[in-house]
């Protein structure tokens, strides 16, 4: 199933999503890496995040006159944000987290509680991501955090493809897959071991 | 074209254009995948097109510039080449632009031009002749973090080598941005095994090791790793590696080192050839 989520995203729309769905995002996408999470949990968010999407990303940007331009904006590894994500979700209620590599059990629980999903964007596809960013609406914490760690508010149009990898029903593609990979590995190990007998 | 210009051109080419045979391998993977795996490969192929068209870096992590140089002992311009390399890195960093990726491990300071202590890393390999072949391999941090050295007991034999490589690459899951290219160096010492792994990455995809036993090991490792189901970006699928390349060296009787160099799908690479008459060609 393929659909476009438009921010502010209603809770019901997110709860209807299932692991494996492909979605695109239009509206406001807000970047946050390690430091941005920490800062927002300590001092509050610079804008209301309910219904918006959070992006684990440190973009490459350049300034043309007064306007910021995004050159490349691929996702960073989400696992580092596991420290903050559960509390962050409960407090600010974004409906989508965009990143790569997946997140852990605490986030999975908070997603179900709050009504949000974790969506995977292709690692390395920084140009494709930048192409969907129409405009930088605002940036917060640029002085203190620097370009990669600042909180960038992007206006995006059909940002994606995003694969729903953790849904609001406690399912995680990563968890399902690692069980499957472990089963496959048993057969693979046997194949390697079998050769020694020959 | 001067040496600095030629080398900077190669760095720009590597950062923005994926070698044709890598694109072919990605297209072949796209054709055999479905579901989330296919979506990932579609995004990758689209991204590759866009980067090439706009001449912008494929990925925001433009990597650490690394050079492998085979130089003829009769090449008359070595001194000039030696000085040109860091200069070319500075120039490409400014002009492409590349992300400044060199950080001092103690102070955290970044000189901003992709140079620093021991960086760019250069491997010089002398040989006969009067020409030079320079391979540029800007390697991203995500995949480099998944590279490893295994010091095995020789008693485990080739079976142990297979096990070590397969277990390691599969355990890395989606972290190195698969489908990856894996270079395996067997033998030598600890440093040589890893170096051989990296050198194995320079070989174009689809080109097997000339020795049949080594080529067979490459094929088997590809098959075994792809049977894991990790898939593109670790979201499941048939393609976890695009290729496995193996190189080897003689080993100490007590040692069986295995160097595993993991490269992300954005296998950025370019080659510069310089003749004794200073003629320069840049290719991929």
Q: What percent of chain B has pLDDT over 70?
A: 100
Q: Is residue A180 part of a domain?
A: no
pLDDT of residue B282: 98
* Interatomic CA distance for residues B236 and B220, integer angstroms: 20
Write out the two tokens for A130.
């930048």
* Interatomic CA distance for residues A164 and A24, integer angstroms: 10
pLDDT of residue A195: 56
pLDDT of residue B30: 98
Q: How far apart are the first and last CA of chain A?
A: 48
Answer yes or no: are the C-beta atoms of B97 and B56 closer than 8 Å: no
pLDDT of residue A196: 46
- Beta-strand pair B256-263/A60-64: unpaired
Judged by CB atoms within 8 Å, which residues 23-82 of A form the interface with B?
A: 58-60, 71-74, 77
Cβ neighbours of A127 (radius 10 Å): 27
Q: Is residue A179 part of a domain?
A: no
pLDDT of residue B99: 85
C-alpha count within 13 angstroms, C-beta hemisphere, residue B193: 22
* Average pLDDT estimate for B242-270: 98
Contact yes or no for A126 and B57 at CB 8 A: yes
Q: Domain span at residue A143?
A: 2-172
pLDDT digits (tens, 9 = 90+) for B165-221: 999 999 999 999 999 999 999 999 999 999 999 999 999 999 999 999 999 999 999
Nearest CA among A159, A162, A127 for reference residue A28: A159
Question: CA angle at residue B31 from A21 to B144, to 5 degrees?
Answer: 80
Q: Is residue A187 part of a domain?
A: no
Total domain count, chain A: 1
pLDDT of residue B66: 95
The CATH number of residue A112's host domain is: 3.20.130.10
Mean pLDDT of chain B: 96
Q: Mean pLDDT in runs of 10 for chain A (198 residues)?
A: 89 97 97 95 97 94 89 91 97 98 96 98 95 97 88 97 97 95 97 70
Measured between beta carbons, which residues in chain A are less than 8 angstroms from residue B37? Answer: none
Is residue B31 predicted with pLDDT exceeding 50?
yes
Nearest CB partner across the interface for B235, out of A73, A163, A188: A163
pLDDT digits (tens, 9 = 90+) for B193-206: 999 999 999 999 99
pLDDT of residue A197: 45
Question: CA of A125 to nearest chain B CA: how many angstroms apart?
Answer: 5
Residue A59: helix, strand or coil by DSSP? coil
pLDDT of residue A148: 83
Nearest CB partner across the interface for B35, out of A20, A59, A196: A20
Does A124 reach chain B within 8 Å, measured CB to CB?
yes
Contact yes or no for A177 and B159 at CB 8 A: no
Is residue B284 predicted with pLDDT exceeding 90?
yes
Least confident of B43-47, B57-61, B168-172: B57-61
Which residues have a Cβ under 8 Å from the Cβ of B210 and sit 6 or more positions away?
none
pLDDT of residue A198: 42
Q: What percent of chain B has pLDDT over 90?
A: 92
């Amino acid at each position: 199933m393929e659909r476009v989520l438009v921010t502010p995203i209603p809770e019901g729309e997110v709860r209807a999503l299932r692991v494996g769905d492909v979605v695109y995002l239009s509206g406001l996408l807000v970047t946050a890496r390690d430091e941005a999470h920490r800062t927002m949990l300590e001092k509050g968010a610079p804008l209301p995040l309910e219904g918006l999407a959070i992006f684990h990303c440190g973009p490459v940007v350049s300034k043309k006159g007064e306007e910021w331009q995004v050159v490349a904006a691929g996702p960073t590894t989400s696992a580092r944000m596991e420290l903050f994500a559960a509390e962050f979700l409960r407090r600010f209620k974004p409906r989508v987290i965009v990143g790569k590599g997946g997140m852990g059990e605490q986030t999975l629980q908070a997603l179900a509680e709050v009504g949000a999903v974790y969506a995977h964007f292709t690692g390395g596809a920084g140009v494709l991501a930048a192409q969907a960013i129409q405009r930088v609406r605002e940036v917060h914490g640029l002085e203190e955090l620097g370009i990669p760690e600042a909180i960038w508010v992007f206006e995006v149009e059909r940002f994606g493809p995003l694969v729903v990898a953790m849904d609001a029903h406690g399912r995680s593609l990563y968890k399902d897959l690692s069980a499957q990979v472990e089963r496959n590995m048993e057969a693979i190990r046997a194949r390697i071991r079998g050769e020694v007998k020959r | 074209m001067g040496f600095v210009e030629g080398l900077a051109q190669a760095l720009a080419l590597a950062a923005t254009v994926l070698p044709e045979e890598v694109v072919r391998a990605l297209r072949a993977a796209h054709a055999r995948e479905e579901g989330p795996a296919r979506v990932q490969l579609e995004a990758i192929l689209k991204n590759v097109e866009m980067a090439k068209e706009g001449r912008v870096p494929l990925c925001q992590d433009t990597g650490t510039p690394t050079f492998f140089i085979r130089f003829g002992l009769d090449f008359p311009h070595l001194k000039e080449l030696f000085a040109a390399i860091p200069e070319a890195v500075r120039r490409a960093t400014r002009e492409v632009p590349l992300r400044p990726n060199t950080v001092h491990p103690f102070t955290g300071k970044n000189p901003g031009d992709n140079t620093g202590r021991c960086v760019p890393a250069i491997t010089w390999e002398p040989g006969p002749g009067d020409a030079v072949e320079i391979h540029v391999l800007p390697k991203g941090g995500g995949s480099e973090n998944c590279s490893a050295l295994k010091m095995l007991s020789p008693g485990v034999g080739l079976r142990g080598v297979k096990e070590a490589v397969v277990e390691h690459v599969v355990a890395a899951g989606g972290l190195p941005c698969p489908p990856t290219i894996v270079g395996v160096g067997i033998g030598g010492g600890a440093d040589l095994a890893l170096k051989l792994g990296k050198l194995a990455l320079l070989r174009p995809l689809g080109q097997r090791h000339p020795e049949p036993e080594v080529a067979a090991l490459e094929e088997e490792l590809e098959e075994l790793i792809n049977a894991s189901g990790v898939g593109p970006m670790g979201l499941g699928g048939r393609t976890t590696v695009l290729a496995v390349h193996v190189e080897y060296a003689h080993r100490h009787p007590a040692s069986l080192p295995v160097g595993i160099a993991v490269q992300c799908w954005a296998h950025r690479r370019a080659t510069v050839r310089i003749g004794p008459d200073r003629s320069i060609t840049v290719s991929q």
